Structure 1
Amino acid sequence: MHAALLPNGNVVFVDKIETWTHLKLPNGYPAYSSIYNPATQALRPLSLDPTVADGLNAIRYLDANGQQLEWLEPGNTLASNRWYPSAQVMPDGSIFVASGSLNGGDLTVHANNNPTYEILDPNGVSSGVNITMDILVRNQPYWLYPFLHLLKDGTLFIFVSRQSQIFDVESGTVVKEMPDLPSFHRTYPNTGGSVMLPMSKMDDFEPSIMVCGGGQAEGLDSPSEDSCGIIQPMSDKSEWSYTSMPDHRVMVEGVNLLDGTILWLNGAHTGAQGFGLADRPAYDALIYDPTTRRWAKAGTSTIARLYHSVALLLTDGTVLVSGSNPNEMPLHDNELVADNQYRKFPTEFRNEIWTPPYLQGDKAEQRPTGIKLLVTTPLRPGQEFTITFKPARPLAMIDVVLHTNGFVTHAVHMGQVMYHLEQSGWVELTDSTVKVDAKIPDVWLAPGPYFVYVVANGVPGVGQPVIINYGDLFEPVSVQ
């Protein structure tokens, strides 16, 4: 399962080839992709080549608002086959794509693997060049879906298994190696979760990376990991500090919440990623507070969210939780076999909404309303803009947040980032309207869609879409 939040507030889903789905295309074929409206529950199928014969190297395209009826498949391909790669949009709009399997075969056989990276231009067309990456080579077979985070100087933080580094994409060089994060593997097939913690001007937008969970081996009996490491990769002396989740998990994923805390959920207590390889589902939602470094349980689901589950923040500040497809083909409840690991858990078609503490009880009635961004997008880093809104109650505090989920799959949140924006405080206008001036961080950002949230007295309004773009500032990154 893959998911992304679109600028209009809808969610695009992409799944693997299935022999059956609830949603059908007009020709009667199962729909592998759809557009979902969280507000109305409307679901619209998106056509995708039913054979997906080029699934290892094809590049497909979707309009940012998902208005089209099918994925565009013009025949563009990656420079080589990449099953389970990671991608990060760079400040110049190019896309860094790394890792992947050549054929989906045994990861312990190095001939099956593709420990390289390539660059797509801002139009999503590959340079056609594969470049070997040492951190991928030396971490086989626990190296698919590496964690990528764009740092404020335009370099990348790359984490694979237990190892991490800062990598300069433009020069193709390693800037800095980090100490290893101890204990089990943290990337596929024993993926934990990775989050770049929310940043603010108070700490000069200094990035901190948090990595939680993981597992020992690719097997049903593999123990999972409860430890988390936190590191400031750009500090003079980068060392891991540690905290522990209340329980052990593999396939756990982290979501930046609008109050600056992190939601960790989904996954299993034992096993690994793959069909029939996980057991003992993790039903509890957990919240980590980076300020107090404390954990809290935050609700319990009754739905197992195992392999192919996703979670992402919606425009109303709640979190959509979906997926779980630990079977090669769909299984319904009446087809389950309790003592057969390959038929123990169903293919999950239900969505859930997890409500954060900042919207529980009567807080949902205290949202700021009438939010308007008095600016013509796109915005540039360092640009100031004005917001007007109506608070539900007299203001005691205000925060303005810039947030994007990026692209979510296999517990990996590619491009997720959150900033508490520099702002001037509020000015009261007429008709109970309030004005606040805010500023986009003057750091290197990935161009593309984001959402701006006004958080008044600790309660967020509905996110407003913005586009961040550097215009013609950049020359395209070239790969020799």
Structure 2
Amino acid sequence: MGSSMATGVVVQLLFFGFQLVALLMSGAVLQVEAQGTWEILVENAGIASMHTAITRFNTAVLLDRTDIGASQLALPNEECRNDRQDESLQHDCTAHSAVLDLGTNRIRPLFVQTDTWCSSGQFRDDGTLVQTGGDNDGYSKIRTFTPCPGDGDCNWVETDVPLVEGRWYASNAQLPDGTQILVGGRNNPTVEFVPANGRGATYVPLIGNANDGQADNLYPYVHLLPNDQIFMFANQYSILFDWKTVTAVKQLPNLPGGPRNYPSAGSSVLLPLSAYIDYALPEVVVCGGATYGAFLNPGAALPATTSCGRIAPLSEGANWQMENMPLRRNMGDMVLLPDRTVLIVNGAANGAQGWGNAQNPVLTPVLYNPNGAVGRRFQVLTGTKIARVYHSTANLLPDGRVLIAGSNTHQFYTLTGYLATELRIEAYSPAYLRGNRPVIAYAPGELAYNERFEARVENANPRAIELNLVSAAYSTHSFGQGQRLIELNAAVPAAAGGGAYTVAANAPPSAVIAPAAYYMLFAVSEGIPSVAQWVHVG
């Protein structure tokens, strides 16, 4: 270990120790105990995954930028990428995208031509990943990846139809009509649709007005709500947005505590939607972020915030309820877990997003329980030894683990020194992966909206069985685009013999609740999830 890396590790340990003592004295931490385990799945993936998505074939799509020089992963069969517009390496025989087979942990290189730096994406209803924008020659590109089993040869396809306007640092959301809305981007305060179907780009004042001099309006938080409107958030401002008329319908109160989007990014999720209350009163939570000025003054190492805001945007008199995380964090990733809790992982305690702007990586995740009392919702978990800061990702896996990848605080691959480019891929196993897990012995592979269906569940307590659908998010830059969890109305189980139970439930009522797509169906018993079965809803 070099002297600079050793110094960084010591600083991080001292920082965490002092912070934890202060928290214990203040009583702000619910629990501090070893919770969950970490394992390295791949020692060298060859690329640092800036964008990660999990497919219905139990593979992970990994994607970095192209203008970064040679990666550590060769393209097969002496294939090379030739691009006269590439700003680093115009003849490149290495891959900048790959597929990880989650069953074997094998990496297969993929070929992507145009620059995907800080682009965005979302799954289409047929399971195809639509990937949009980027920098340089990728600025107006639409790419698709139709996944296949791990031993298949599926690859990226770059379409000939461009975006209406270029997108760099934008966010995507799947809509009930099967199209995707693309929101914002650097120097682009508009929205557009893919496919456009004749629609152009429309200016959105929220995005334009949220640029505060350091562009804290990038990668906006976009959540489709059960009333068919969009909760749209940039910087510390939010609106309800009608995607059909492409207009803002309500201005919501500002979130206190400074900017929350790139480059001062915290993270955000739409909390689980529940059939038991007819999917009413959705809530959004935003946690973490950087101090304003941290991006403009990287040497100052300004502290990140501990604050979280939670709002029910459709309620009368909607306002932010504030609380504090146990640890300061920006660049964290919030992941909805199948037991309806939220993992907050990755990030740094000082600085902001950008090359070389982060200091004091936060190695310790926390768990957020939305159903806990205010001030008692957080639990400190077992930490990793691998720093994940700028350009890191976190995705829920069908077996209940969380895939952690990426981290590159440098313009190019820098494999030595403090906060080196991270090519290892980890999995975090939450504490619920213990004991005798329930098993989905049968569930239909297709669910029509509002269809009454039955699942056969084994190894479960019949008095405590949940059926929860979780989408496959596109994780990038501290935001899981398209992430949502839907708690179905599981009926009282009926004994099916042999210790198994038949559980009946209704599929989501419409594409407003669950846009057509492939979802992971989990059976959860006493907080312990099964391995998910992929089902198509729509």
Pairing of 1:189-338 with structure 2 (within 5 A) = 189-205=263-279, 206-215=281-290, 216-217=292-293, 218=295, 219-220=297-298, 221-293=301-373, 294-333=377-416, 336=417
Q: Secondary structure at the match of 1:246?
A: coil
Match for residue 442 of structure 2? 372
2:180 maps to amino acid: I
**Aligned partners of 2:61, 2:471: CA distance in 1, in Å?**
15
Shift of 1:76: 2.1
Partner amino acid for 2:517? G
Which amino acid in the other structure matches residue 71 of structure 2? T
Q: Give the TM-score, by structure 1 length.
A: 0.88
Q: Deviations over 1:253-291 (max 9, x none)?
A: 111111111110111111111111111101101001111
Which residue of the partner structure matches residue 210 of structure 2?
139
**Segment drifting more, 200-209 vs 92-101:** 200-209
Closer/same/farther in 2, CA of residues 31 and 76 from structure 1, 3 Å limit: same
Aligned counterparts, 1:68-467, within 5 A: 68-101=153-186, 113-121=187-195, 127=198, 129-140=200-211, 141-205=215-279, 206-215=281-290, 216-217=292-293, 218=295, 219-220=297-298, 221-293=301-373, 294-333=377-416, 336=417, 344-360=418-434, 363=435, 366-369=436-439, 371-373=441-443, 375=444, 377=446, 379-391=447-459, 395-443=462-510, 444=512, 445-467=514-536
What residue in structure 2 maps to residue 472 of structure 1? Answer: none
**Offset, 1:68:** 4.0
Identity score, percent: 32
Contact 2:440–2:455 (8 Å) recurs in 1 = no
User: CA shift at 1:299, angstroms?
Assistant: 0.8
**Structure 1 position 376, deviation (Å):** 5.1
**Residue type at the aligned position of 1:402:** L
Say yes or no: does 1:46 pair with 2:46: no
**Contact 2:440 2:533 (C-alpha < 8 Å) held by counterparts:** no
What is the deviation of 1:90? 0.4
Offset of residue 50 of structure 1: 6.2
Report how far residue 128 of structure 1 moved.
5.8
Matched residue count: 439
Contact 1:194/1:412 (CA < 8 Å) preserved in 2? yes
Note the alpha carbon deviations across 1:339-370, whole angstroms, 9 max, x for none.
xxxxx31110111111112114xx2xx12235
- For structure 2, the residue ranges without an aligned partner over 5 or more in a row are 1-49, 80-92, 117-135
Cα deviation for residue 127 of structure 1 reads 4.0
- How far the C-alpha of 1:416 sits from its partner, in A, is 0.4
C-alpha contact 1:78 1:128 (8 A) present in aligned 2? no
Q: In structure 1, give the amino acid aligned to 2:531.
A: V
Say if 1:2 and 1:409, in contact at 8 Å, map to a contact too.
Answer: yes
User: What SS is found at the alignment partner of 2:260?
Assistant: coil
Q: 1:412 corresponds to which letter in structure 2?
A: F
- Identify the range of structure 1 (83-92 vs 393-402) with the bigger mean alpha-carbon deviation: 393-402
Aligned residue identity for 1:37: D
Q: In structure 1, which of residues 7, 17, 36 is the aligned counterpart of residue 100 of structure 2?
A: 36
Runs of at least 5 residues in structure 1 that lack an aligned partner in the other structure: 102-112, 337-343, 470-480
C-alpha distance in 2 between matches for 1:137 and 1:51: 25
Cα distance between partner residues in 2 of 1:132 and 1:385: 43
Question: Which is bigger in relative contact order (C-alpha 8 A, separation at least 6)?
Answer: 2
Aligned alpha-carbon RMSD (Å)? 1.7
